[in-house]
Every structure is written in structure tokens, then in C-alpha cells.
Amino acid sequence: MTAKQPHRFRLDRLETPIGTALLVTDDRDFLRALDWSDYETRLHRLLRRHYGDYVLEKAAAPKDIVAALTGYFAGDLGQLKNIKWRTNGTDFQRKVWSELHKIRAGKTSSYGAFASRLSVPNAARAVGLANGANPVSVVVPCHRLIGADGSLTGYGGGLARKEWLLAHEGAAFKRPEQ
């Protein structure tokens, strides 16, 4: 019996207005993960959870991914739609992430309303858990889910990043009290 080979991914770093983004891509130029350098431990935890054994090799991310992210952070919000991404996860997680990708820049949804949109109106917490396990932040815009009262709720990259992303996109939300 042959031992299963670990998944091989590439790791690159991209400077953005809100910190250094970690870009994990595969050999077919799909984005597999996007996280932040100050949350690198979480990145590794999510990769292990979704792929089991893996190897990260330092290598440049595909130019089209870098160009799209650079464009997004420069204000061309539609650039995120140009990024090819692929994830592993449960069927429910992938359903949540696929629907999240459909929320347009500048728009938000509450967890409850989003659960209803998925035809599981009593699953707001499950939506929140799937949202928190999203390995492709920003591109799969988990930051666009907010509290029912418009307040910012948890965000894996920190609430300051969530606030910046929503403000950058022109979304309406309740700013946290300072």
C-alpha cells in the first residue's frame, strides 16, 4: 500500500492597506487560502482541517490573482470576481461559501437573513461557524455578514480589518464604539 502524498501548495505574501496577506495557491493556479500574516497559525490550522497533510513551498502567486487583489485594494471592487478559488470543506460549508461569493461589494447580510437565503432559517449559528471556517477570506467575502442590528460581529482577521473592508466597499454598518 502506497502512503498518501501530502497536498502541495505555494505560499506568497502580498502587502495590502490592512496588512500582509498570505496567499496559498495550487499547481492549477487556484487560490486555496487567503489569510493574514498575524494569523498564520490559523491559516495552518485551516489547511490541516481541509486538506490533512500538506506542504507549503514559497513561490510567487499567479499574476492574475495578485493583479485582482491589488486592483480590489486600489478601489476596483469587482476584481475579486476574477479570482479562481477552490476549497475543501463539508457540503454545507461549501454551500455557504458559494452563496457568500454572490453578495456584491457594498452589500451586507445578517447571519439570520443569510441562513434564510440558504433555506435553513434556523441555522444562523451554523452559518456563522461555516463563515468562520472560510479559508479564502476577502475573495469569499465573509466580512459581509454582520449582526441583525447592523453591528460588526466576529471576524477571523480582526474587527478592524472587517470594518476597513466594509468601509472600503461602501457598505452600511454600525461602527463599533471606541
- Is 142 assigned a catalytic role? yes
Q: Rounded CA gap, 160 and 57, in Å?
A: 30
Q: From its phi and psi, is residue 103 left (phi > 0), alpha (psi between -120 and 50) or beta?
A: beta
Say if residues 136 and 61 touch (Cβ distance below 8 Å): no
Q: Which residues of 103-124 are buried (b: 16+ CB within 10 A; e: fewer)?
A: bebeebbbbbebbbebeeeebb
Per DSSP, 105 falls in state T
Q: Rounded CA gap, 138 and 8, in Å?
A: 23
Per DSSP, 126 falls in state H
Choosing from 43, 105, 124, 142, the catalytic residue is 142
Residue type, 116: S
Catalytic residues: 142
